[in-house]
């Protein structure tokens, strides 16, 4: 039998542990920015497959507004935006501690800070990271 535990993922960027104060529901979404392959068909029918070398991915990290991680990410993002040449890229890593799923990129950066939403209930903050050369392994979970 396999058991999935959302608390058994290690998520970090630039030395900042991102696992604190994750939102309920979907808290991380990693998406490729381009397909790995595309195709073109000629007038008479043969198809040519084209390999893309674009390995960029986006990561959407959703935190509760009360998470202390928001403050750490805000400080890093603002420091990066205020530097002449940036300087904010760092290692982004997601690893399943009970399995083989892993995504990492040493040059990841915060692409956009979250929208600010205030209401009568606790809200979330969605951070957008860009991973320009991510390596990803979509693995499995080890047996209990």
Longest CA span, the chain: 61
Residue 78 is given by DSSP the state: H
The string of pLDDT tens digits covering residues 43-98 is 999 999 999 999 999 999 999 999 999 999 999 999 999 988 777 899 999 999 99
Which domains occur in the chain, in start order? 7-33+55-137 (2.40.30)
The three-point CA angle 71-72-77 to 5° equals 95
> Which contiguous run of DSSP H or E holds residue 101?
none
Percent of the chain with pLDDT over 90: 88
The band of 9, judged by pLDDT with boundaries at 50, 70 and 90, is very high
Looking up tokens 């320009």 gives 132
Residue 89 is given by DSSP the state: -
Question: Is the Cβ–Cβ distance between 114 and 125 less than 8 Å?
Answer: yes
- pLDDT for position 136: 92
Q: How many residues would you count in the chain? A: 144
Distance CA 31, CA 54 (A): 13
pTM for the model stands at 0.90
The band of 4, judged by pLDDT with boundaries at 50, 70 and 90, is confident
The band of 2, judged by pLDDT with boundaries at 50, 70 and 90, is confident
């Amino acid at each position: 039998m396999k058991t999935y535990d959302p608390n058994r993922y290690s998520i970090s960027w630039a030395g900042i542990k991102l696992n604190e104060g994750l939102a309920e529901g979907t808290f991380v979404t990693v998406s490729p920015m381009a397909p790995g392959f595309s195709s073109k068909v000629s007038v008479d029918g043969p198809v040519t497959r084209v390999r893309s070398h674009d390995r960029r991915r986006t990561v959407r990290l959703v935190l509760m507004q009360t998470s202390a991680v928001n403050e750490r990410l805000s400080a890093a993002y603002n420091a990066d935006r205020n530097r002449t040449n940036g300087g904010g890229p760092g290692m982004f890593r997601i690893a399943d501690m009970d399995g083989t799923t892993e995504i990492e990129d040493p040059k990841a950066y915060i692409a956009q800070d979250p929208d600010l939403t205030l209401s009568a209930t606790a809200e979330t903050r969605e951070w957008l990271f860009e991973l320009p050369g991510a390596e990803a392994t979509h693995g499995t979970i080890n047996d209990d």
